[in-house]
Amino acid sequence: MNSRRDFLQKISLGIGATALTGLPEVASALPGFRADKQLRVALMGLGGYANIVARGMKECKTAKLVGIVTGTPSKIPEWKQKYGIEDKNVYNYENFHTIKDNPDIDLVYVITPNSLHHKHVLMVAAAKKHVICEKPVADNAKQAREMIAACEKAGVKFYIGYRLHFEPHTRELIRMREAGEFGKIMHVNNYAGFTIGDPTQWRLKKALAGGGAMMDVGVYSLNGARYCTGEEPIWVTAQESKTDPVKFKEVDETITFQLGFPSGIIANCGCTYNFNHAERLHVMGSKGWAEMNPSFGYGPIRGVTHKGPIDQPDVNHQAYQMDGVADAILNGKPDPNVTGQEGLKDMIVVDAVYESIRKGGAKIFINK
């Protein structure tokens, strides 16, 4: 049991991921292993990513999928059957407020379209349940602040689905940076993107997505720039390109953006909905460097540094994430670096990206 606890504690405390190699396997192989407690989770919104989360959570040791919230009754039977969801843990958006009286659900994972995150997180907070919300946290920083305040007032935890903060290759990169193995960070260069398919999907509708590539994959470039530097940007510039004004009538197709950090680092970032195999993270320091490619997908993540390939296990991102937040909640551990505040920091930059584009690339200074 200690191995498992140590493992989760290390994740919570942000201790070097190298030490974690293989531990989940070791822990689960211990005779009679079981978690002392479980974090019982309901998923709100049963779209494509909810399916990925649900499948991933079958590998969880501490978190357990027990409930669903959906506006589409036809989805219910399959979910009940696939994941053993009991009727008493099935909600729709009309009766969701009654989840407050359900002692068998601890946390709601909001996986609805981006622009509904604000409303839904407020609903979860009102029901006094812990909440994890898929990124982007909201449409803008103002909404994110309201969500943080609501969760604080309700006394519930508020996390963002930044699964990479639990991913071993990414954690090793962060560990190396924190340990000074790259020396002084000098430049960061991140790009994220893919060719978006179905032109009718919600991600292409401003009212549901809040924005386009920037809101979706751009957040990976941006969050990556922050964990590559360990700093918060003080200015932002951004540029947009749109080659298909029909498909991308409502949202951005391709955006490049630059983040100026207090130490002088400029991160040169970008994102697109317009081509595949576009993702990559690259950090250059005075003593070393790292490059990850793929860097932001659901795995496997691959990285090389000046020392050689990053040798870490391939894990299920969603399972690791859910067990990570479960441990923090159940065992009173320090929060992993995926709190609402972390989401807010990204949204402040996203706001500045769109403002810079509106102002023709002008430098937007970030005032905390």
Question: Which residues contact a second copy by CB under 8 A?
Answer: 186-187, 189, 191, 237, 239, 241-243, 254, 256, 258, 260, 263-266, 268-270, 272, 274-275, 277-278, 280, 282, 284-286, 289, 356, 360-363
Closest contact distance (angstroms) between CB of 311 and a second copy is 21
List, in sequence order, every residue forming a beta bridge with 64; answer none if it has no partner: 40
Structure tokens at 277: 């195999």
Closest contact distance (angstroms) between CB of 183 and a second copy is 9
Closest to a second copy by CB, 169 vs 282, is 282
Closest contact distance (angstroms) between CB of 247 and a second copy is 13
Nearest-angstrom CA–CA distance, 280 and 160:
22
Closest contact distance (angstroms) between CB of 309 and a second copy is 15
Closest contact distance (angstroms) between CB of 344 and a second copy is 24
Q: How many residues does the chain have?
A: 368
The owner of tokens 């909810």 is 50
Secondary structure (DSSP) of 83-96 = HT--GGGEE-TTTG
**Are 295 and 284 a contacting pair, CB within 8 Å?**
no
Neighbours of 79 (CB within 10 A): 20
Closest to a second copy by CB, 21 vs 293, is 293
Closest to a second copy by CB, 97 vs 363, is 363
Nearest-angstrom CA–CA distance, 302 and 312:
9
Instruction: Give whole-number Cα distances, 341 to 25, 122, 144, 229, 344, in Å.
Output: 32, 15, 8, 17, 5
**Are 366 and 233 a contacting pair, CB within 8 Å?**
yes
Closest to a second copy by CB, 98 vs 263, is 263
Closest to a second copy by CB, 206 vs 242, is 242
Closest contact distance (angstroms) between CB of 350 and a second copy is 17
Closest to a second copy by CB, 47 vs 288, is 288
Residues 6+ apart with CB under 8 A from 201: none
